[in-house]
Each structure stands twice: as structure tokens, then as C-alpha cells.
Structure 1
């Protein structure tokens, strides 16, 4: 181990140790990283990501620690979310299907039913906003009722938009960023953009881990795969255009590796080298380095809800 790496190791902590020192369960810690509440650094030794000691000290010194940190990453299901907002679970589900509240995570229960989770902080903010008062009680506005009758359910699509931001936050390398975008498209859609088979193979190699954690090809994995793959024509078109752009940026950085040709090592990460910024409590789609995800999520919300969103008298 070199002197430089020794200094780096001593000035940082592994993700598991950081979670313990911040008094977060691993699921909470992972969500904190995704949301930008906890910033990570690439391990110079190639061992994944780490957390700077200064970052841990900063969070532990905040007023109200650890309760305030727990509140930032608290994720709740439909029943608890409805109680937080003072409404029935039926009404809460309608708001979620319409894309007015956006899930932050999902998992499959033992019956292979999809369980969506939402940030408690965002739900409280939604309920406190006066312009949402007509949605909190009484009859659902006619325009929104029509969408529900047509079977609209924007939860998977809005989760994908948010997940895109999560993944881009951790991807400094241009090819890895292109792989993040490609991971939300079906293989045929990727092939239409990346016609070079070596590029497709490289994108697949860099593809981020799937969120389900289920065994490959299991029924649960197939259900999760459907959730994690864009299926709306407009969404697919948006992602294909973004894949073209990110691929162009990646090609300018270096070509995809080919048989008999040594792959050019990734360029050093630069985003995490900047001085830390104050912690954010908004979701990851508000971060500058995930602007593409922010545009997508905003576009989805405007297209499917805002046009019919009533305002308080």
C-alpha cells in the first residue's frame, strides 16, 4: 500500500462503518446516499465507494443528530403515508397513481405484490402546500378522475425517473453514465441507438445492479424487470435521445474495448473532488449532476398531472 493510499484509507470509512457511525440501518444509509444526504467518494484502490471522515463528522455535528438524519431518509408505505397526510389509503393511492406523490423505493412482498415506499418528508410537504388542498378531501377533480378510470398508474414511470437520478449521482465515468440510461431501456431499444455490438456489450458490463435483489430469471426478478424497464412511448423516446447524447460523450472520452485491444482506463473522477456542499434535504432529482433525471421527472409530472391540477380558491 502506498503512502497516498494509506492517507486516503485513514481519512475515509467503508460504507458499512459509516452507516454504523451515523446510526443508520443499511437500507436507510443507502437511501441517504441516493438522496445526497451522505456524500461518498470513489476508493482509489478500486474497492468501491467510501465516506470521508469529514463528512461523517459534519453529519454527526448537526443539531438533532441522529433524529434529524433519520427523518430525512424515513420511507413509508401507503398506510403510514396516508396517515401522515390525513387521508384514506384509497385517496393516497389515487394521488400516487396520478404521479402527484412519487415513490422513492419499492420491493416485492412474499406474495410478489409490489410495495411502494415514499419519503415521509415529501408527503408532509405536499400536505402542507395550500394549492393541494382540493386534492386532500372531497371529490377528485373530473380531469384526474378520467385518468384514473383509464387505468393510469405513473408510479413505475416516476420511480424510474427518480432512480435514474440516483444512479447518475454515483456515475462519474461517461460510459458508466451511458450504461445507467441504457439500463432503463429494453435491449431492442438500446440496439437501435448503440448499433456497435462491442459498445452494447460494454454498456451491459457496466449496467448498474438491479434494484430487486431477486435471483435472476425468478418470478420476482421478472416482475421487477418490468418495473425497471421503460414502457411508455414518450418515455422511451426521451431515454433513447438521452442515450444518444451520453454515448456521444462516452465515445469522445474513449472507445469501447474490443477483442485484442486493451481498454483505455476510465478518466479520474472529478465530481467528488470538489469541496463538500451543505447537505440537501430535497430528493436526488434536484442535484445539478442529475439534471437529465430532473428534466425527465418534471416532464412526466407536467404531462400527466399539472395540466389538470386544481388550485385552491
Structure 2
């Protein structure tokens, strides 16, 4: 049975119960929360996020429930995505590796191969835009893309990270330390220690650390591969995350200095990686030629590196003085 919240006028239920009442599989429910389609509230008992009964009633009373909600969280892999866009799987993979199609989640199959999943709704939108027609129907992909792929470019991991950090910071809400922890969890611990030299602050970030998707038993080869995918690795990406962490830390220190309250007891080891939830705008890709940005002043929100627009790539190529191959 569902457990109500501490106030009688705001009953809530656990995510598993909410998923059943919304006729969603658990993965669909988590993705709907990530995308902001289902609003959650904090559990006052410290047990994680919960869903208000009023939110469930709102969704169930919506037009087309539950089909429309299911359609908005439908995901597809490469083969089905290529079919939706009416392109060959190789063309689909090229567009995704270059960063024009942004994955929303991933899993590891039994061979420990990464399988990226995309929102079917976004793929349909991409294919419907006239400015993308050449990318889908031209005999050859634009030279800019071919050159990048020949050099081994694969922006799928970083685009997933860019999207997921938006999920996590949205879940953090108004807690500045939780927002800083959301950024820190996608950085290598050495980078975090460099930006946050105070062990008390690092302990607070560890306490606020969000849960990341789990893949395999802790310490297994699958878990290690997943952790690698979930850690910023490219120099300009790392630089951006470091600058963003520095900025969010300044806000957290200003609003809630560590000295004002008791610090949590630091955990004895890394927190287990388990599923999370919340939402974000679609991440965009970054050209390989983008230089590593210098850390931004903490007084200003660091801007991400110049993106390659995921839509209208042909016009972007023309502005750069390059003619796409036909």
C-alpha cells in the first residue's frame, strides 16, 4: 500500500505505486520524471522522491491517457530509429556519433556493448524538419561529418552526460549544495578535489550526491564501463564541468556556508550507482575544433562550448564556408 506524506492534505505514494497507477513500466516512469512530464516531491522522511496524489490525478485525467504519455517516453535503438527516420542504420549511427541525435539513456547488453536509446518523438521531429532533408537523403553525408567520424569522433557519451546533468540539477531544485553535487558526480574525483580542497565541503557534496543509473554489480566490468561513460573525459567538456562546479560552489557557499550547520558523516566509500530521475533541455554537440575554454569567473555562469546545432546542420556548414557533399 502507498504511504501518505506527513501532512494530511498532501498524500503521496512511492514511485513504484505511481508507475502502476499511470500504467507505465518502471523505466518509462523514470524517464517521464527525467523529462519533467511527471512532477515529484521530496520524501520528508528522507526516503527519496515521491509522487503527489494530485499529480497522478492530473495525469490520469489528461486527454489520451495513457497512450499519449507512453508515446512521449517511447525510446528506440539504432535499428528502429533508422526505420522511423527512413535512413540506413549506418547513416543513423553517423548522425548520432557526430552529435546530431542525442541519446536519452543507455544500457549494456550481455556482451557489455553500449546500446544507446533515443526518444522516438525527437527522431520524428528531426526527420520532419526540412533543413535536415539533405542529411537524410543525400547520397553521401557532409564532408564535415565524414572527416569527424574518420578521426574517431563519437559524441554520444558526452551528449548523454550533458543531458543527464540537466536532469540531475533540476531534481536538486533550490538546494545549492545538491546542484553542485549534481555537477560534481560527473567529474573525476581528482577534478572535484582540485576544485573543492576543503574536506568538509567534499563531505557535504558526497552526502548530496545524486544516484546515477546502475549497470551491473558494483566493481564488475560492466559497472566500471558504465562509470567511465558517466565521467566527463574530453578536455573542453571537463573544463566546462569544472567551471560550472566552481560557479555552483560559490552560490552554495554564499547561501549556506558549511560553518553554519553540522556536516553529515562522510560515507565510508563511493555511493552505489542506482537509478535517478528529473528533466532537462536536449544537449547539443560540440565541434571537435572547439578550443578548450578557460575557467569562467565565478561571478558569471560558465557558458558551454559553442555547439553544433542539432537541427539545420546544412546552413551551419554553409556559414562556415563549406559545401556539403551531395
TM-score by length of structure 2 reads: 0.80
Distance in 2, Cα, partners of 1:73 & 1:216? 28
Residue of 217, 228, 231 corresponding to 1:229: 231
Q: Deviations over 1:126-175 (max 9, x none)?
A: 00000000100221011111111111100000000000011111102111
Q: 1:251 aligns with which of 250, 253, 278?
A: 253
Q: Counterparts in 2 of 1:262-277, with a 5 A limit?
A: 262-263=262-263
Aligned-pair CA distance for 1:308 = 3.1
Distance 1:213 1:286, change over 3 A: closer
Which residue pairs with 1:151 in the alignment? 152
Aligned to 1:301: 308
Alpha carbon RMSD of aligned pairs, Å?
2.8
Partner of 1:214: 216
Corresponding residue number in structure 1 for 2:199: 197
- Contact 1:144–1:308 (8 Å) recurs in 2: no
Contact 1:41 1:52 in 2 (8 A): yes
Residues 300 and 204 from structure 1, CA distance in 2 versus in 1: closer, same or farther, beyond 3 angstroms?
A: farther
The Cα offsets for residues 99-138 of structure 1, whole Å up to 9 and x where unpaired, read as 0000000011110000000000000000000000010022
Contact 1:202 1:257 in 2 (8 A): no
Are residues 1:170 and 2:137 paired?
Answer: no
- The question of whether the paired residues in 1 share the 8 Å contact of 2:5 and 2:12 is answered with no
Counterpart residue number, 2:113: 113
Specify the alignment match of 1:241 in structure 2: 243
Residues of 2 paired with 1:41 and 1:225: CA distance? Answer: 28
Matched, 1:51 2:55: no
Residue number in structure 2 paired with 1:267: none
Rounded to whole Å, the distance in 1 between the matches of 2:225 and 2:97 is 18
Structure 1 position 224, deviation (Å): 0.7
Contact 2:102 2:282 in 1 (8 A): no
Equivalent residue number for residue 284 of structure 1: 280
TM-score normalised over the length of structure 1? 0.83
TM-aligned CA deviation for residue 221 of structure 1: 1.1
Residues 79 and 4 of structure 1: CA distance in aligned 2, closer, same or farther (over 3 Å):
closer
**What is the rounded CA distance, in whole Å, between the counterparts of 1:237 and 1:96 in structure 2?**
23
Q: Distance in 2 between matches of 1:60 and 1:299?
A: 41
Unaligned segments of structure 2, at least 5 residues: 265-278, 284-300
1:92 aligned partner: 92
Please give the residue correspondences for 1:119-158 in structure 2 after superposition, counting only pairs within 5 Å.
119-137=119-137, 138-158=139-159
- Please state which structure has a larger fraction of its residues in helix: 1
SS state at 1:122 partner: helix
Q: In structure 1, what is the equivalent of residue 161 of structure 2?
A: 160
User: What SS does structure 2 have at the residue aligned with 1:301?
Assistant: coil
Distance 1:86 1:140 in 2: 15
Task: Measure how far apart 1:220 and its partner are.
Answer: 0.7
Deviation string 1:2-41 (CA, Å, 9 cap, x unpaired) is x9824155x3222111111110001000000000010111
Q: Which moved more, 1:214-223 or 1:201-210?
A: 201-210
Look up the match of 1:22: 22
- Name the structure 1 match of 2:31: 31
On the 8 A contact 2:18/2:51 being kept in 1, the answer is yes
Q: How many residues align?
A: 283
Q: Structure 1 stretches (4+) deviating beyond 6 angstroms? A: none
CA distance in 1, matches of 2:63, 2:90: 37
Q: Give distance in 2, aligned partners of 1:47 and 1:216.
A: 22
